[in-house]
Amino acid sequence: MEITITHSEGNLPVTILKPHGVLDAASYGELIEAAQSEYEIGARRMIVDLSDVAHMSSAGIVALHTILKLLQGSEPAQAESGWEATRAVAQKGGIGPQGRFKLLSPQPYVDQVLDMVGFKKFIDVYTDEETAIASFDN
């Protein structure tokens, strides 16, 4: 999977991760690794741009949940937990304020997956990059 990484230096620095292709068991680790690498060099606000992801499996949800936990300073779920992590997302609903992580432009199928597992209840989803970047307020 190719992942494009860009940085916005508006009011607050924001890192944008844009995976291209399918986000599934074969590729989700690459997205997690990219987020961890950016976190290690100081990124504390991230947007995952899903506009070029045509399909996302439960492994993609695990990747997004792991990035969220990383940015919250919590211990991420182990990658092997798969469905357990997905169920935790759906059951917890609001994991709490998450002003450091946003999603951008999911394609219709991916948007349905996010809705189905309850991710959109606590993660802001935007259709416009400029608006998503401006939404970071601290």
Query: Is 84 buried (19+), middle (13-18) or exposed (0-12) by CB count in 10 A?
Result: exposed
pLDDT at 40 over 70: yes
Number of domains in the chain: 1
Kindly report the CATH number assigned to the domain that includes residue 77: 3.30.750.24
Q: pTM here?
A: 0.86
Strand partners, 15: 7, 46
Structure confidence by residue, pLDDT tens digits, 91-136: 454 444 457 999 999 999 999 999 999 889 889 999 999 999 999 8
Give the rounded percent of residues in the chain with a pLDDT score beyond 70: 82
Q: Name the residue range of residue 76's domain.
A: 2-134
Percent of the chain with pLDDT over 90: 70
pLDDT of residue 74: 77
Tell me the residue ranges of DSSP E strands in 1-138: 2-9, 13-23, 46-49, 53-56, 101-104, 124-126
